A and B are shown apart, each in its own frame.
Chain A
């Protein structure tokens, strides 16, 4: 086994990518699984806040666009669960078990999908900035050492880039609208700013953990957050919107954005299942699974026939 571990480390050091059937340490498999299952759960749960707006979209064009975005997110979940199934097979972890864990509240999904989306401007902010934040994270993960995940991420990132454009278009429309529309947009930004800072996770990681040494992840939480701030703070300011953090500023010496304490206790409360909408959205996911269980049952019956 020691020889196997050394051979694996040597492959990683040579920059090789790992395939599903390759030998890998159990800890590598576990860490990849945790990351990939959380991503799949987040795609599935991420469709829910936007789904609430399909019947209320302000025009037929917006309705079609948001409908297709929701379909994309569910499709991403399908593709990523599939990657997770192959990785989890040696542990006997099936998609059914992953979904059981999710709806029972035993699995994590992204903090941002536990917040309410009370206005149409929230839909714009989510599609522009939450998807923008997701693209930072997923763009870095394109360089992950687990090849099946990297391959599917290329497809996903291309679609997320379209979502971002769609969000940008909603935000630009509202920002050039009436004073009531601008106020609605400002309120949505104010609501989402803290969850957006939380999105990347707490700072202070070091690169010597297994996740970085094995190139499962390639950028720290803080690097990703800084990438997001570099890209989006100037755009938000250009729209004349006010970011609800008076201490936010660019540190000229380091080139890094400094931000006020975003209340990491709140982050931990949310990721541990205590978000404003966590229970409600998990209940909706449970309901969907119950109501649509007959489709899977029919597929299984057909497979058995």
Chain B
């Protein structure tokens, strides 16, 4: 007899929200996994939409122990990399930043 597969369950709490991982379960196939996911995780109308994903389909990045990102700091990807726009605006008159 075959082993049952493991399915990871993702739920969406309201329309437009990100799907979040809520747990996992054992099932013979994806259809049954969805039925069981509703029984296990949706008894109190927690989600408006549900995904089940067979665990072997999930590719996992190695854990680095710190946030994943580029090796070197790349502040030009972030808002903080452009803080001096406030000063730069002052060259054009006025006391505060550009968003007057």
Contacts and interface: CB of A to CB of B under 8 A. Distances in A.
B95 interface: no
A165 interface: no
A21 interface: yes
A80 B3 CA distance: 19
B40 A72 contact: no
B23 A151 contact: yes
Interface residues of A, number: 28
A168 to B, nearest CB: 18
A82 interface: yes
Nearest to A297: B1
A140 interface: no
A26 interface: no
26 contacts: A11-B65, A16-B65, A19-B63, A21-B63, A72-B43, A75-B43, A79-B23, A79-B40, A82-B23, A82-B24, A82-B25, A85-B26, A95-B26, A155-B41, A296-B4, A298-B28, A299-B28, A300-B2, A300-B4, A300-B28, A301-B1, A302-B32, A303-B2, A303-B4, A303-B5, A304-B2
Shortest beta-carbon contacts, A-B, top 4: A304-B2, A299-B28, A303-B28, A302-B28
Given A155-B41, A298-B28, 7 more contacts: A79-B25, A82-B26, A299-B27, A300-B28, A301-B1, A303-B5, A304-B2
